[in-house]
Amino acid sequence: MSAETDGVVTEETIKRAFRATEDGFSALVSEMWSTKPQIATSGSCCLVGVISQHTLFVANLGDSRAVLGRKNRDTGSIEAVQLSTEHNANVEAVRKELRDLHPDDPQIVMLRHGVWRVKGIIQVSYQLFAASSVRSVQRLWFLALSWKVALITKEKHMEGFQVLAMFLKLEFRVRQSWTKGLKLFAMPWQARLTSFIANVPWASRLQVSRSIGDIYMKNAQYNTERLNEKFRLQEPINMPILTANPSIICHHLQPNDCFLIFASDGLWEHLSNETAVEIVYNHPHAGSARRLVKAALQEAARKREMRYSDLQKIDKKVRRHFHDDITVIVLFLNHELIHRGVVQDPPISIRSAVEH
């Protein structure tokens, strides 16, 4: 990211960097559209932090979050200060923004299974199992009979049986018929689980209103029959549904600002700002990001009545259906270097759930 001509980073500098990133990905989609059209459905949240002349700029697209750990000058206790704006349809202000931008589209945001979604485009997500807010649930006990007979006597398949046990503890609404579910019995357990996940039609829907990519939600050229039906919008796109315009918050750094936590929404789904800040503050700097990821996964397992050790054993290809992606960066602030304007790599801790 290049700075302004006078060498000072500004909000406009950051916005230009976001536009350049979006334009670069759009060009890639155009280049690959004829051979790999599904790339138009790829997108990402984006969270950026830049420190320039004692000012911290935090720019965000989507529902990742930046949280500052700051010491209270009076009590000496640690406080959590959120420094990012989230673009998630579950936030009332975001829904209002979308409705104001699309007054002629009554379906711009929809409440599905207790969760607000943008339009209703199906995407693969752990939300398939996040059914605490779903009413009229049914337990899939019929799956237990087949799996138990097939796996209980085969020691090498015990890990698969453990996955089944976890699966059965998770309640969610079943819209498919029991007959269709029974057809899965003849398949190996891994294929059975994957097939069931892939064929639940309401599995998850887009929640963020801003992102890098997701070009099919921004350009009518890519909302065509070449896309998988579950992504394609029935009505034409007259204006972009999603945008890549970041929300930017500026914070003048203070001596009692201790550290910053940058993390994807998978962390904040399970940890509050205050809990995350306390974990970092009360332990050594080294391994801070790892501790946050572990704490979030432990909470994810608890919510699903699973053991943390069992959650760790689940294949990475399936893990996404039990918890969302988790990526964490913890940055410790060195105010002496900031004051001197020295460019030097600060103490930093990075971790993701995939590496955990």
Nearby residues of 187 by Cβ (< 8 Å), 6 or more positions away: 195
Q: Which of 293, 248, 254 is nearest to 68 (CA)?
A: 254
303: tokens are: 């919510």
Q: Averaged over 160-167, what is the pLDDT?
A: 36
Q: Averaged over 129-143, what is the pLDDT?
A: 31
pLDDT, position 124 = 36
356: tokens are: 């955990």
Hey, where are the domains in the chain?
Answer: 1-64+83-125+204-254, 131-200, 255-356
pLDDT, position 310 = 72
pLDDT, position 186 = 41
What is the identity of the amino acid at 213? G
Q: Averaged over 283-297, what is the pLDDT?
A: 92
- In this structure, is the dihedral angle defined by the CA atoms of residues 79, 84, 90 and 91, taken in order, positive or negative? positive
> What is this structure's pTM?
0.71
Mean pLDDT of all residues belonging to the chain:
74
Nearby residues of 140 by Cβ (< 8 Å), 6 or more positions away: 167, 168, 174, 181
Asked if residue 133 has pLDDT above 70, the reply is no
Q: What fold is seen in the domain 1-64+83-125+204-254?
A: Phosphatase 2c; domain 1 (3.60.40)
Q: Which of 268, 311, 309, 276 is nearest to 292 (CA)?
A: 276
pLDDT tens digits for range 35-69? 999 999 999 999 999 988 889 999 999 999 999 99
Chain centre distance of CA 235: 27
Question: How far apart are alpha carbons 167 and 291 in whole angstroms?
Answer: 26
More confident residue, 112 or 24: 24
Asked if residue 139 has pLDDT above 50, the reply is no
Backbone angles phi, psi at 219, to 5 degrees: -135, 120
Could you tell me if residue 70 is left (phi over 0), alpha (psi between -120 and 50 degrees) or otherwise beta?
A: beta
pLDDT tens digits for range 205-253? 478 999 999 999 999 999 888 888 888 888 888 899 999 999 999 999 9
Question: How far apart are alpha carbons 274 and 135 in whole angstroms?
Answer: 30
